[in-house]
Amino acid sequence: MAARTHKPSDLARGICGGDRATLARAITLIESKRADHRSAAHHLVQELLPLTGKAVRLGITGAPGAGKSSTIDALGTYLTSQGRKVAVLAVDPSSTRTGGSILGDKTRMGRLGSDPHAFIRPSPTSGTLGGVAAKTRETMLLCEAAGYEVVMVETVGIGQSETAVADMTDFFLVLMLPGAGDELQGLKKGIVELADMVAVNKADGDNIARAKVAAAEYRAALNILQPQSKTWSPPVITYSALTGNGISGLWSQVMEHKRLMIESGELVARRREQQVKWMWSMLEERLTARLRSDPAVRGKVRQAEVQVAAGKLAPTLAVEEIAQLLGV
């Protein structure tokens, strides 16, 4: 593998110089499960850390068919036309090593996929959501060090992937559809509570009136919830990824949120909290990896599973015995 021949310092210089091939190799290094690669990756991230933190971190999720790919394509193209560099990542705990659906979606990001100022990369899967989220965070930091001013993190999985993305971004955008029947049923309470904004897509042609009605219903739903921030109440907007109408307004809301969060100090606090969550996520991943890789521990775990399943060993005692093997 090419990344194996590069020292972290060499990769760091290439990344800082804006070399896309070096950035891709560095991300491949981060994805590797080899111990020596993992050590090199940690040194690389540590070396680049002072150059990170300046990008806008935008998380995006949405109901099936809400047009995440077309929205990213439209928004990303709008931003590159304004002179910004854009990176697109994805969190998908159900994907294979090929990267899951974002590779297919890339064909639907026709403009952004061929834009020299954009970088699209699927997140690796480590078999667990925590592993995926950890790798995505590291990839995000590399993209920031490479000069990408906006990093969009798309959740293409289900369940807790939305929480994982919200825990690594500054602004969490939830996309919805107009005229889809009982719209509020498609907007899970947990996702609503995470949203910094709800955007109703496909507000074009005959859908405009339905989009406005849907937006009004989402506003009513948001009004009964306690906002996460003391200085920001999540707005609900309508837009069209197809025509581009409303895309500039969508971005204006993201920037207004950033301004208010910086002024109140909430952005710094949010990122500090996310860093600690990242640490715990990686620690849990390391302990889980030990359970699976250490032959002695793995054997004990298998024995414990059999005894617990047979009702011969209490789960609490089984955990205690395994924990002693790990020294915790």
Average pLDDT along the chain: 85
- d(CA 36, CA 43) in angstroms, rounded, equals 11
3-class DSSP assignment, residue 155:
strand
- pLDDT of residue 199 exceeding 50, the answer is yes
> At 66, which amino acid appears?
A
Higher pLDDT, 245 or 134: 245
| 282 — pLDDT class (breaks 50, 70, 90) | confident
| 177 — pLDDT class (breaks 50, 70, 90) | confident
- Dump pLDDT digits (tens) for 268-280: 999 999 999 888 8
pLDDT confidence of residue 99: 44
3-class DSSP assignment, residue 38:
helix
Higher pLDDT, 37 or 106: 37
pLDDT confidence of residue 124: 54
- pLDDT of residue 224 exceeding 60, the answer is yes
What's the whole-number mean pLDDT along residues 122-139?
A: 68
What's the whole-number mean pLDDT along residues 222-227?
A: 77
Q: Which neighbouring-strand residues pair with 122?
A: 90
Most confident of 11-25, 132-146, 288-302: 11-25
- pLDDT of residue 25 exceeding 80, the answer is yes
pLDDT confidence of residue 117: 95
pLDDT confidence of residue 252: 98
pLDDT confidence of residue 36: 86
| 189 — pLDDT class (breaks 50, 70, 90) | low
- d(CA 323, CA 319) in angstroms, rounded, equals 6
> At 166, which amino acid appears?
A
- pLDDT of residue 3 exceeding 60, the answer is no
Q: Under CATH, what is the fold of the domain 1-50?
A: 1.20.5
- d(CA 55, CA 312) in angstroms, rounded, equals 54
Higher pLDDT, 295 or 78: 78
Q: Residue ranges of the domains in the chain?
A: 1-50, 52-264, 277-326
- Of 73-77, 136-140, 251-255, least confident by mean pLDDT is 136-140
Tokens found for residue 198:
């709800």
> At 96, which amino acid appears?
T
pLDDT confidence of residue 241: 95
- Dump pLDDT digits (tens) for 72-112: 999 999 999 999 999 999 876 655 444 444 555 555 688 89
DSSP assignments along 165-217, one per residue: HHTT-SEEEEEE-SS-SSGGGGS-HHHHHH-SEEEE---SGGGHHHHHHHHHH
| 33 — pLDDT class (breaks 50, 70, 90) | confident
pLDDT confidence of residue 322: 85
pLDDT confidence of residue 196: 94
What's the whole-number mean pLDDT along residues 220-227?
A: 78
3-class DSSP assignment, residue 105:
helix
Higher pLDDT, 217 or 106: 217
Give domain 52-264's CATH superfamily: P-loop containing nucleotide triphosphate hydrolases (3.40.50.300)
CB atoms within 10 A of CB 129: 20
pTM to 2 decimals?
0.84
pLDDT confidence of residue 106: 58
3-class DSSP assignment, residue 153:
strand
pLDDT confidence of residue 38: 85
pLDDT confidence of residue 97: 45
